[in-house]
Amino acid sequence: MTLSIDHFYILVGLLLAAVAIMNLVDRSNPRRVTTALFWGLYALLYLAGEALPLAAVGALMIGMALLAGFGGVKAGQPKALAPEARQASAARLGNRLFIPALLLPLVTVIGATLLKDVQLGGLPLLDPAHITIVSMGCGAVVALIAACWLTRVTPLQGVREARRLVDAMSWAVVLPHILAVLGLLFSEAGVGKAVAHLTTTYIGLDSAFIAVAVYCLGMALFTIVMGNGFAAFPVMAGGVGIPVLVGVYGANPAVMAAIGMFSAYCGTLMTPMAANFNIVPAALLELPDKNAVIRAQIPSALPILVANIFLLYFLMNL
């Protein structure tokens, strides 16, 4: 049997279902019912998403957005080891604490390189269509086993810790997936063509430098709105990058794409929509200002964005 990405979807779905149940029975959570419903719906998408009608999947996502938007997702008080027990365990293990974290990338690399052609019974061991993701899933399982062995706890404690982290990150866990869908919707709706029409109609792109500036700034601005550079890229590349920079000014497509993505990443540094980069770290570190990471990154993001404009202008015809 081939180990496929679907097997890990099931594992993630079961983990989210456990998070939902733990929140439901946690009376310290002021929104335990709606919080459990949110994570339960998310678990359902992983466990049965492909079997559900597309309209039902869309309805579930809208329901999750409404639950989160109206403040229905709150953190409880998950059972965790006492601080004294944590410190004693850390002192006993020392640098061995890093073993599970190092096993994750190690197993991923081994699976994606050494095991990619291994077959059992005429079938590939790992799904070749998603070899890296499946290998990373294997690495996560191996890391969990190693962590349980090192710390002398059961996998249930690992589930409790997962619930604690999920509660700390809250609905932001889902945001990267939602934004990826948003990017596809923008592309299917023809936003790129609309951007091309607006820029060519209302902005004088007869100057190569202005065209480059519009492209780079647009990449950053769309990323700020959508929180995802990969979602912004098809919009700006289809609207300005390919028809104007490549088609009119003969820009190298590889240079246009690479520096365009760098510009998009500048937007990532400046937006709360990129929750996994900017909001989640603030939540995990329990910073009093949830935008502290963004405030620290803006002084770097803006000069880099300006530098990208000049880089693309001088390098695009190489």
List the domain boundaries for the chain. 1-173, 175-315
Annotate the chain with DSSP letters as a single string.
--B-HHHHHHHHHHHHHHHHHHHHT-TT-TTHHHHHHHHHHHHHHHHHGGGS-HHHHHHHHHHHHHHHHTT-----------HHHHHHHHHHHGGGGHHHHHHHHHHHHHHHHTSTT-EETTEESB-GGGHHHHHHHHHHHHHHHHHHHHHT--HHHHHHHHHHHHHHHGGGGTHHHHHHHHHHHHHHTTHHHHHHHHHHHHS-TTSHHHHHHHHHHHHHHHHHHHS-HHHHHHHHIIIIIIIIIITTT---HHHHHHHHHHHHHHHHTT-TTSHHHHHHHHHHTT-SSTTHHHHHHHHHHHHHHHHHHHHHHHHTT-
The pLDDT averaged over each successive group of 10 residues in the chain (318 residues) is: 88 94 89 93 91 88 89 80 76 86 93 87 86 92 92 86 85 76 72 72 78 93 83 83 89 93 93 79 78 92 96 89
Residue type, 182: L
pLDDT given at position 85:
75
Distance CA 43, CA 176 (A): 16
Distance CA 138, CA 51 (A): 25
pLDDT given at position 188:
74
pLDDT given at position 108:
93
- Using alpha carbons, select from 165, 224, 160, 175 the residue that is nearest to residue 68: 175
